[in-house]
Amino acid sequence: MSLIGDFGVDPMTPEQFDAEAALFGPLTDSVRTLMEATLMSEAEADDVARARALVDEAAALLNTRRGGIALGTRWGTDGIRRSWGNAVMGLRNPVAPPLEFTHDDDGPSWAEAELGGLYEGPPGLVHGGVVALLLDQALGSAAFYAGSPGMTGTLTVRYRQGTKLGPVRVEAALDRVEGVKSFVVGTVITPDGVCAEAEGIFILPREVRHLAGELAQSFHPGEG
């Protein structure tokens, strides 16, 4: 698996990205609302059946023209890459909460999100795998922002207390770099305090190590 992906695809201009974001961003938000409604609806059976037919019609409409199985990484003529399919922050991925990271110049980054019932594990709590998912992205992003991009080699999560559904903050920062390995730490915090802590080792795969500098410059905050 390549960290870069999609070589051979023509880079898109910022204007093309803006147009796509304007078209599909609101659709993604609407689908997210639909997913929440699907989970929580107590509508009458007839209304549920009608909603299903409408959803099927919408899916058929969108599928009249479509790509393969995933969006992949899209490069811009500005040298910035966008991963709009990313499961945590992707602009076109309704599964993403989404998390939008802000970061300091030297890497520490943070994001806040409201996690509703779509992310439930134990009753009223965020699924542990989702907590790990958010931390994986946060730590990986912090490594990128710090100029040491890599893939997750190892992620260790300590769950200190249940993470209640609701407002969640994720923070991460680069601890140190040893050769090609970036050691990153992070936390998930709610109004109850720190719920989970993580340590991760992020490694730039050997086949793209020669592109380290280019990759470190290519990350677009908030877009994966």
Give the binding site for ligand CO8 (CB under 6 A).
Answer: 1, 136-137, 140-141, 144, 151-154, 179-181, 201, 203, 205-206, 219, 224
| Smallest separation, CB 155 to ligand CO8 (Å) | 8
Q: Give whichever of 82 and 169 is closer to ligand CO8, judged by the CB atom.
A: 82
Separation of CA 206 from chain center: 24
| Smallest separation, CB 151 to ligand CO8 (Å) | 4
| Smallest separation, CB 150 to ligand CO8 (Å) | 7
Q: Within 10 Å of residue 224's Cβ, how many Cβ atoms?
A: 28
Q: 173 burial class (0-12, 13-18, 19+ CB within 10 angstroms)? A: buried
Q: Give whichever of 31 and 133 is closer to ligand CO8, judged by the CB atom.
A: 133
What per-residue string of b and e applies to 35-70 under the rule 16 or more CB within 10 Å gives b? eeeeeeeeeeeeeeeeeeeeeeeeeeeeeeeeeeee
| Smallest separation, CB 30 to ligand CO8 (Å) | 26
Q: Give whichever of 123 and 179 is closer to ligand CO8, judged by the CB atom.
A: 179
Q: Give whichever of 110 and 144 is closer to ligand CO8, judged by the CB atom.
A: 144
> DSSP assignment, residue 165?
S
Helix (H, G, I), strand (E, B) or coil at 174: strand
Helix (H, G, I), strand (E, B) or coil at 83: coil
Q: Residues 222, 101: contact at Cβ < 8 Å?
A: yes
| Smallest separation, CB 112 to ligand CO8 (Å) | 18
Separation of CA 159 from chain center: 21
- Give the integer Cα–Cα distance in Å for 124 and 146: 35
Q: Give whichever of 2 and 38 is closer to ligand CO8, judged by the CB atom.
A: 2
Q: Which residue is nearest to ligand CO8 (CB)?
A: 140
Q: Give whichever of 139 and 168 is closer to ligand CO8, judged by the CB atom.
A: 139
| Smallest separation, CB 170 to ligand CO8 (Å) | 12
